[in-house]
Chain A
Amino acid sequence: MQDLGINVIFEGSNLLRLLIGLWVTMRIAIVAIAISVVLGIAFGIVMTAKNRWIQWIARLYLESIRIIPILVWLFIFYFGITKVLHIHLGAEVVSVLVFSLWGIAEMGDIVRGAITSLPVHQRASGRALGLTDLQIYRYIIIPQAVRRLIPAAINLATRMIKTTSLVVLIGVVEVLKVGQQIIEVSILKTPSASFWVYACIFALYFIICYPISLWSKKLELKWQNQ
């Protein structure tokens, strides 16, 4: 009787290797997300400035990130820019760089949207009370903006996690690549290996992204009731 396909996952150190690959994926995603949150909030506040030059440059940045596919950005940086500037950047570094640029742009837009959706009078009320602009941001605008942007921000985070699978194409050995290696070895013995390996990877991504989604819903409900 042929091996039941699912055994592939538990053979040897396959599962361990998949988990290590997953860790590489998560490492890139977590660092990129952390950078995006911090710099994205700053960028978002900058985007609310009235200066026309700032608006123009910010829009240019945001639209280029959106129009050009992330994969192309990865190639541009990994194969293109490193050659032009003669610096050697590892594939993982390039991945974090590109994903951070993406995250900062999107996060900035989310923050800008949350801030501008607040009624203008809130700021006037705060000023009429004698609060400084910094105090108004800290006590009135930011707390409310944070509540509004959490769903979109968490959605961005899960999208970033999923898109990290692209980095396999610039040579990073992450979970998808490990999966392919396992399949190549086992495919002759176990024809259904590809199904089970990819099913396992599917489950791993699900286990990571679904709790984050649930947490986001919980936060939304909690703040709606306030």
Chain B
Amino acid sequence: MIQKTQEKLLEIMNLKKQYDDVETLKDISLDVHKGEVVVVLGPSGCGKSTLLRCLNGLEEIQGGQIKLNGEVINADKTKWHLIRQKIGMVFQSYDLFPHMSIIENILLGPTKAQGRDKTEVLAQAEKLLTRVGLLDKKDAYPRQLSGGQKQRVAIVRALCMNPEIMLFDEVTASLDPEMVREVLDVMLELAKQGMTMVIVTHEMAFAKAVADRIVFIDQGQIAEIAKPQDFFNAPTTERAKRFLNIFKFNEESER
């Protein structure tokens, strides 16, 4: 891993989120440093996806602050579309726009939202597509691609906006197992190149390999934060231990 700075890119302070009467997130505080990869783990319904959606304003928060590069970003609702250009997000349901070709999908954000010159964006897009091995598909339409290919395109589409931080919301959860690996490889390479990432995933081996820190969320609160080796080998909290047991299959019949 390249040397990480201590510079804080994203600061989450006392974030609270409520759906009707249910407190989905109760007082989350977390700092993400530049170049760091944070993996968020937790049981279903614990609020991890909601947390990611709060970070780029897709969900409104009822309390707390989010700062990007020291500036508060959740104060003005009307400015979110500008902030979102700096925060890239890839979803579980890829959601490429079906009426546009792959290259058109990638060019839409940079040319329309950022007003960049088309030839410059095209060059960047083709370079990124080559890196993920999909340059030959640039004029194809989304329905002609497999799930893994679509997800890799979704990552390229987000990267072309030149974000400072990338959020990944269970991006391999709806993929067939053979295609999961090709997407995870792209994310590993991204991490090696120093992109700041917040990843929500269920792929434990991947989490262990890519994370600088593991954040374990349970019932809307951060239960444990640790380095991957510490978290997976010696979790300190009961809840974390119970969670990790779900993924273990004991061969000896000890119970």
Q: Do A and B bind each other?
A: yes
- Chain A's closest residue to B109 (CB) is A129
Contact between B95 and A129, CB atoms less than 8 A apart: no
- Chain B's closest residue to A141 (CB) is B97
Chain A residue numbers with a CB within 8 Å of B98 are 144
Which of B84, B91, B96, B99 is in CB contact (< 8 Å) with A130?
Answer: B84
Contact between A139 and B85, CB atoms less than 8 A apart: no
CA distance A129 to B56 in the complex (A): 10
Which of A119, A124, A125, A127 is in CB contact (< 8 Å) with B81?
Answer: A127
Chain B residue numbers with a CB within 8 Å of A67 are none
Q: Which residues 87-136 of A have a CB within 8 angstroms of B?
A: 119, 121-122, 124-132, 135
Contact between A130 and B161, CB atoms less than 8 A apart: yes
Contact between A130 and B95, CB atoms less than 8 A apart: no
Contact between B112 and A144, CB atoms less than 8 A apart: no
Measured as residues with beta carbon below 8 angstroms from the partner, the interface class of chain A is: 10 to 19
A131-B97 in contact given A121-B91, A139-B108 (Cβ < 8 Å): no
Q: Does B155 contact A (CB under 8 A)?
A: no
Contact between B91 and A128, CB atoms less than 8 A apart: yes
Which of A121, A132, A139 is in CB contact (< 8 Å) with B95?
Answer: A121
Contact between B141 and A130, CB atoms less than 8 A apart: no
- Chain B's closest residue to A135 (CB) is B112
Chain B proximity mask over A124-162: 1 for CB below 8 Å, otherwise 0: 111111111001000110011001000000000000000
Chain A residue numbers with a CB within 8 Å of B112 are 131, 135, 139
Which of A129, A135, A144 is in CB contact (< 8 Å) with B157?
Answer: A129
CA distance A130 to B160 in the complex (A): 12
Q: Which residues 96-117 of B have a CB within 8 angstroms of A?
A: 96-99, 108-109, 112-114
CA distance A131 to B109 in the complex (A): 7
Which of B89, B96, B108 is in CB contact (< 8 Å) with A128?
Answer: B89
- Chain A's closest residue to B113 (CB) is A130
B52 CB, min distance to chain A CBs, angstroms:
10
Which of B58, B82, B108 is in CB contact (< 8 Å) with A124?
Answer: B58
Contact between B81 and A121, CB atoms less than 8 A apart: no
Contact between B158 and A130, CB atoms less than 8 A apart: no
A121-B158 in contact given A129-B113, A131-B109, A132-B81 (Cβ < 8 Å): no
CA distance A80 to B72 in the complex (A): 62
Chain A residue numbers with a CB within 8 Å of B109 are 129-131
A124-B95 in contact given A129-B108, A130-B81, A130-B84 (Cβ < 8 Å): yes
Contact between A125 and B97, CB atoms less than 8 A apart: yes
Q: Does A13 contact B (CB under 8 A)?
A: no
CA distance A219 to B99 in the complex (A): 14
Chain A residue numbers with a CB within 8 Å of B221 are none
Contact between B141 and A132, CB atoms less than 8 A apart: no
B interface residues, Cβ below 8 angstroms from A: 56-58, 80-85, 88-89, 91, 93, 95-99, 108-109, 112-114, 141, 157-158, 161
Cβ contacts A to B, 11 pairs, < 8 Å? A121-B93, A121-B95, A125-B91, A128-B88, A129-B113, A130-B114, A130-B161, A131-B81, A131-B112, A139-B97, A147-B99
A interface residues, Cβ below 8 angstroms from B: 119, 121-122, 124-132, 135, 139-140, 143-144, 147, 226
Nearest 3 Cβ contacts at the A-B interface = A130-B85, A129-B109, A125-B95
